Amino acid sequence: MLIRIAGVNDPAAAAAYAGAVLFANRKEIPLQAGEYFDDDLIGCAVYGEDGTAYGSVARVEHYPASDMLVIDGHMVPMVGAIVTAIDLDDRRIVIDPPEGLFE
């Protein structure tokens, strides 16, 4: 994520903010279709398309190739071929895991 701070126009001025914690009002952050806040996904129940219960999302980890849902210690890539539906109102995520993912 890139940010711009009013009055900070060069790297030397930006260095004063190294290590700073920034906060933003989530209502002011526009999300595109298919984008979610990590906090909204944590705790969602995860089911297979066949109804198999896999557990719930413990955390979301971010990697260059894709974000990962951590479900009972298993890393599930957040890609359309695997995560087929996210319903935040019902706190439910549906996945189509490849064979062996939960072994």
Mean pLDDT by 10 residues, the chain (103 residues): 83 90 87 91 97 97 95 95 96 96 90
Which residues, in sequence order, are bridge partners of residue 62?
67
pLDDT score of 42: 98
pLDDT score of 24: 85
Determine the Cα–Cα distance for residues 9 and 98; give it in Å rounded to an integer.
48
pLDDT score of 1: 61
Which residues, in sequence order, are bridge partners of residue 77?
68
Domains of the chain: 11-95 (2.30.30.240)
Both tokens of 95, joined, read 């996945």
Residues with Cβ within 8 Å of 48's Cβ and at least 6 positions away in sequence, in order, are 54, 94, 95, 96, 97
